[in-house]
Amino acid sequence: MGLELKFTKKLIIAALLLIIGAIFPLFADEFLVSILMQAYLWAFLAMSWDVIGGYGGQFSLGHAAFLALGAYTSTILLQGYNVSPWVGMWAAGVVAGAAGALVGIASLRLKGPFFALGTIAFAELVKLLLLYFKGITGGPLGILITKSGPENMLFETQTPYYYLMFVLMLAGILFLKWFESSRFGIGLVAVREDEEAAEGVGINVYRTKVIGAAISAFLTGIGGTIYAQWIHFIRPDILVKLEYSTQIAAIDVVGGAGSPYGGLIGALILVPLSLYLNALFGGMIAGLSLILYGVVLLIVVVMIPGGIYGLLRRRLRRKLPDQR
């Protein structure tokens, strides 16, 4: 009985949030819409990160590289071969996913911080390769998207982008919901919790982690396509930034790693916060916004290790002990 009620409640809350999200652009002004839209994109990227970073427990600090690989793949296909990004985004995912697997193969056999280090190094490598293969990537000049039309995922106004990112974010949540109860997802969590025990029950630890990294990179690659379609102009030095990699990780960690909602919660808090702080202080004491942002991050990470979602869940459980 209690469980059913909870389910209905959840359903109602979800439906309400969905409706609010869907009709938001109708009554909010464009600036708010633009902020929320970015929060969705970052939420999706954080959820992608969550697959390996949260569920897999392998900290990546190079996700900007997968973002860039995705952005470049679909953009090269669009500009060079006239392939619509609606198709190209899947190719973007595959290329980024393959790269993720590669990093995983190289660094996940070892325990400890090697995956994190590997991803940082890999990001630098991707940047250099993008600069080097000028013929394909435009080198340091980057690539400009000059096509137009919805068939090429390009819109004249902001609202379509809002819905694009809204759907992307929802897809991310649904994917993680499915993922965490899938056989593979459970296996990955088991590996995170205790590698020896996982191996004991017949899970191939190394392979599981590598596939996790690949899935995570695959999703990030798709996010990269969306980013490129929104910004229209990609360039290695401006896209493959450690700042972006850490932002993706930070959003997820703050929101609550290893949960389907962590990415969204983190993004809804951190993205507007960083943009707001920048708007407030950027004009005068430039850089102060970054310091304050860092302070907030630090406080959350130190004081709420499970992220905000974890905190909420703990509170709820404490209040409703009998419903467990």
Partner 1 sequence: MDTKTWILAIVLLIVGLLVGYFAAGPGQVKTVTTTKMVEKTVTVTKTVASTTSQPAQTTTAPAKKVEVKVGILLPLSGGSAFSGQEDLRGIQLAALHINQSKYPNIKFTMKLVIADTQTKQDVAVTELRRLAQEGVVAIIGAYNSAVTYPSAAEAERIGLPYVVPESVSDKITAQGWKYVFRTCANASKYAYDTLWAMADIAKANGVEVKSVALIYENSDFGVTTTEGLKKYLSKFFPNAKIVHEESYPAEEVTSMDDMVAKLKAENPDIVFHVAYLKDAVLFVQTMKKLNWYPKAYVGAGAGGQTRVEFIQQLGADANYVYTQTEWQPDFLNSKALGKWAWINDDFKKLYGRDMVGSSALNYVGTYVLAVAIQKALDSGANPNDIKAFRKAVRDALETIKIPAGELPLMPWGVDLTVPNHQNPEAAVAMAQILEGKFRVVWPIEFAPVKAVFPAPSWGKR
User: What distance, in Å, lies between the first and last C-alpha atoms of the chain?
Assistant: 12
x/- binding map, residues 111-150, to partner 1, per CB under 8 A? --------------------x--x----xxxx-x-x----
By CB under 8 A, tell whether 237 contacts partner 1: yes
Contacts of residue 171, defined as CB under 8 A and 6 or more positions apart, other chains included, come to 44
By CB under 8 A, the residues from 141 to 200 that bind partner 1 are 141-142, 144, 146, 156-158
Minimum Å gap between C-beta 33 and partner 1 is 9
For partner 1, the binding residue among 9, 197, 287, 323 (CB under 8 A) is 287
Listed ranges 95-103, 197-205, 238-246, 250-258: which one lies at the site for partner 1 (CB under 8 A): 238-246
Taking the least distance from each CB to partner 1, the nearer of 63 and 209 is 63
Long-range contacts of 107-115 (CB under 8 A, 24+ apart): 108/58, 108/206, 108/209, 108/210, 108/213, 109/206, 111/195, 113/59, 115/58, 115/59, 115/60, 115/213
Taking the least distance from each CB to partner 1, the nearer of 150 and 287 is 287
Number of residues that bind partner 1 (CB under 8 A): 47
By CB under 8 A, tell whether 284 contacts partner 1: yes
Listed ranges 46-54, 98-106, 199-207, 296-304: which one lies at the site for partner 1 (CB under 8 A): 296-304
By CB under 8 A, the residues from 210 to 229 that bind partner 1 are 227
Minimum Å gap between C-beta 283 and partner 1 is 3
Contacts of residue 216, defined as CB under 8 A and 6 or more positions apart, other chains included, come to 48, 49, 50, 51, 52, 53, 56, 60, 63, 66, 100
Contacts of residue 242, defined as CB under 8 A and 6 or more positions apart, other chains included, come to 61, 64, 120, 123
Listed ranges 55-63, 106-114, 178-186, 284-292: which one lies at the site for partner 1 (CB under 8 A): 284-292
With tokens 């450690």, the residue in question is 242
CB contact burial 220-246 (16+ within 10 A = b; e otherwise): bbbbbbbbbbbeeebbbeebbbeebbe
For partner 1, the binding residue among 98, 129, 290, 312 (CB under 8 A) is 290
Minimum Å gap between C-beta 214 and partner 1 is 26
| Alpha carbons 64 and 45: distance in angstroms, whole number | 10
| Alpha carbons 175 and 248: distance in angstroms, whole number | 18
By CB under 8 A, tell whether 38 contacts partner 1: yes
| Alpha carbons 162 and 177: distance in angstroms, whole number | 23
| Alpha carbons 145 and 233: distance in angstroms, whole number | 6
Minimum Å gap between C-beta 111 and partner 1 is 29
Minimum Å gap between C-beta 29 and partner 1 is 7
Site residues, partner 1 (CB under 8 A): 29-31, 34-35, 38, 131, 134, 139-142, 144, 146, 156-158, 227, 231-233, 235, 237-238, 241, 243, 275, 278-292, 295-296, 299, 303-304
